[in-house]
Amino acid sequence: MSPDSQASEALPSRRRRSPRGGRHRGEESFLLPPGSPAMVLAVPRHATAPNSIATDLARLVETEQTGQPVFLGYLDGNESHLATVLAGLRQQRDDEPAAVVVPMITGPDADTEAAIRKMVADAPVPAVAAGPLGPHPLIAEALHDRLAEAGLARADRVRMMTMVTGASGVIVVTPGDHEAVRQAEVTSVLLASRLAAPVFTASLSDHAALSAAGEQLRASGAQRLAISPHLIGPETTPDHIAAAAAAAGAEFAAPLGPHPALAQVAALRYVEALANALA
C-alpha cells in the first residue's frame, strides 16, 4: 500500500450500513481506512479464561463495525498480554499512534484503567487509551435484550414481538466501586424507561446493598425481581452473579457478552480517543 493511500483519511469515516434483515438493521458503523491505528481490546483476566466472549466481541467489531482486524490484549497471564501485543505493533504514520486501546469494561474501574494507562505509557510505540464503554444508551438496549432472553422482561416490541411476563423490579449490578455504581445509574435510568419498571443499581460485591434493594422493590409492590449484570463477562464469574441474585432474592440474566451494541460502542470509543489524540 502506498503512503498516499494510507494518508487518504486521518480519521475513521462514519457510514450507515445498507438496510438488512435482523435485529440491528440500519445501525451506524465505522469503516476504518487502511493503515489506521490498530484497535486493541483490553480484556480483564487472562487469555486462558474458559470463555470466548472477548474473541466473539472482537469478531463482531471487525465484521459489523470497523472492517479491520481487532487485537486482544489481556491484563493477566502471559498469553497475549496487553504489553506484549502493543510491543508487536508498528506505527503506520508518524502523525498517528500505533494503537488505540479500548478497555473491555462497561464503566469506570480504577485498577483496570490504571493498569492499561501504565502499559500504554510503557509501550515502545505510541498508543492511546480510550475510556470504558459505558455509560451509553446502547448498553441499556443490550441489558434489555439479555433480560428478555431470560424471560425477565418484555422484549422490545419494535424489534422482537415476543410477549413475555417480565420482572416487576430490576437491580442492575456492576463490578467496581461507588463511582462505577454512580456511572451505571445513568444506564439504569435508561433501562427503567425501556422497561416501565423500577430499576435500582448496586455493586456486584455489596450483598448488603443488594439485599436492601430487593427489600425496597418488594416493599413497593414488585413481586418478581431480576438481576441485570452490567458487565461483559470476563470481569467476574457466574458464581458471583448467582451469589448477587441470591442476596437480593432475585432471578438473573446473562452478562452482556458479545452483544452487537457493545461492538458499536467499542468502535465509537476508538474514534473518540483517536480524534482527541489528533486534535
Domain 137-252: top CATH class: alpha beta
Report the range of poorest mean pLDDT among 42-56, 88-102, 233-247. 42-56
Domain regions of the chain by residue span: 3-133+260-278, 137-252
> Residue 27 carries which DSSP code?
-
Find out whether 228 and 200 touch, Cβ atoms under 8 Å. Answer: no
pLDDT digits 0-9 by tens, 19-41: 333 344 335 668 888 889 999 99
Q: Nearest Cα to 27, choosing from 261, 272, 266?
A: 261
Q: Specify the range with the lowest mean pLDDT, choosing from 201-205, 211-215, 231-235, 255-259.
A: 231-235
Q: Which cell goes with 239?
A: 458464581
Give the pLDDT confidence score for residue 134 in this predicted structure: 92
**What pLDDT score does 19 carry?**
34
CA-to-CA distance for 170 and 216, rounded, in angstroms?
11
- Cβ neighbours for 272, distance < 8 A, ≥ 6 positions apart: 130, 131
Supply φ then ψ for residue 257, to 5 degrees: 60, -155
- pLDDT score of 27: 53
C-alpha cell read off for 43: 480484556
Using pLDDT thresholds of 50, 70 and 90, give the confidence band for residue 11.
very low
Mean pLDDT of 132-145: 95
Other residues' Cβ atoms within 10 Å of the Cβ of residue 11: 14
CB-based contact 167:152 (threshold 8 Å): yes
Please state whether the peptide bond connecting residue 103 to the residue before it is cis, i.e. omega within 30 degrees of 0.
no
Q: Which CATH architecture has domain 3-133+260-278?
A: 3-Layer(aba) Sandwich (3.40)
Q: What is the mean pLDDT of residues 4-23?
A: 39
- Between 127 and 109, the higher pLDDT residue: 127
Please choose, from the candidates 48, 23, 17, the residue with its C-alpha nearest in 3D space to the C-alpha of residue 259: 23
pTM: 0.85
- Kindly provide the residue ranges of all beta strands, DSSP E only, lying in 78-221, ordered along the sequence: 99-103, 127-129, 169-174, 199-203
CA distance 153 to 222: 13
Where is 40: in which H helix or E strand? strand 38-46
- Containing 246, the helix (H) or strand (E) segment is helix 238-248
What SS3 state is found at 228?
strand
Determine the pLDDT at residue 9.
40
Residue with grid cell 443490550, as numbered in its chain? 142
Q: How many CB atoms lie within 10 A of CB 6?
A: 15
| Contact by Cβ (8 Å): 130, 91 | no
* 3-133+260-278 and 137-252: identical CATH topology: yes
Assign 147 a pLDDT band (cuts: 50, 70, 90). Answer: very high
Cell numbers at residue 195, please? 422497561
